[in-house]
Amino acid sequence: RVGVGATPLPPLPPTTPDLPSTTPPPPSAIADEITPAPDTTPEVPAFPTTATTGVGMSPSAAFAPAALSNALALADTTVTSGTSAALWLNGGMSQVNLVGSTLIGNPWAINIAARTVSGSALAATTQIDANDSILQGRVYTAAGSTSSLNLSNGSLWLVTASSNVTNLSNDASVIEYPALLPGVDPVNPNSYRAVRVDGTYRGNGGTIVFNTLLAGDYSPSDRLAIVNGAGGGSPRVQIR
């Protein structure tokens, strides 16, 4: 209501009718394409994805340490892979502690190798302490990487495939080469397995269980080969 003598309000501008739904929207005031900043993330190779996984673990229990020392502890844990390694240690320095745990891989229980960072290979340096634990499968250390495997307090390593480590300690534990399967030719040297130690082997009350064909000095057998280091301690040997 306009009072007597008041100045009339100016007329409202004409309204803009709604655009038909088929009419494209007006151009955006923001550029459609923004050039992203360059990706400086170090190049890291993908881990295998075909392996089955243990409870609560990423594929193959993948563990990729960085350039500084990293630690992984598994207690009362079982990690199983039917088609790959149970534990991968790829590049950098790492410490692994197993207590009452089991690693079962096919063919590797543990695979230790370099990884690529910024186009260069970063070798792995690792120490694995297995306390009252079980390893089933091959322990592989790639060229250029180093590994120290310490078995203690009744641990068991079932060597299902030939393996190599830098240093190996067997303290009141068992390194066992499983019995040859039925149908495997016991005369064929390739039926047996070997563990190569490039540094030092110490057997402090530990036992090694070998399969051997008792038919002469050069009969085929499972082997523990100490290549560039020395052996010590009080190892025990069982032949079957």
pLDDT per residue as tens digits for the range 194-228? 999 999 999 999 999 999 998 888 899 999 999 98
Q: Summarize the confidence of residues 65-79 as an average pLDDT.
A: 80
CB-based burial label for 50 (10 Å; 0-12, 13-18, 19+): exposed
pLDDT per residue as tens digits for the range 141-187? 999 999 999 999 999 999 999 999 999 999 999 999 999 999 999 99
| Rounded-to-integer distance, Cα 134 and Cα 157, Å | 6
State the pLDDT at residue 41: 33
Q: Distance of CA 112 to CAs 82, 149, 158, Å?
A: 18, 11, 18
State the pLDDT at residue 32: 40
Contact in structure between 68 and 94 (CB atoms under 8 Å): no
Considering the chain, what is the average pLDDT of its residues?
A: 80
pLDDT per residue as tens digits for the range 86-98? 999 999 999 999 9
| Rounded-to-integer distance, Cα 35 and Cα 4, Å | 64
Answer yes or no: is pLDDT of 139 > 70.
Answer: yes
Answer yes or no: is pLDDT of 82 > 70.
Answer: yes
Who wins on pLDDT, 33 or 20? 20
Angle at 42 between CA 65 and CA 119, to 5 degrees: 100
Amino acid identity of residue 145, one-letter, is: S
Contact in structure between 194 and 212 (CB atoms under 8 Å): no
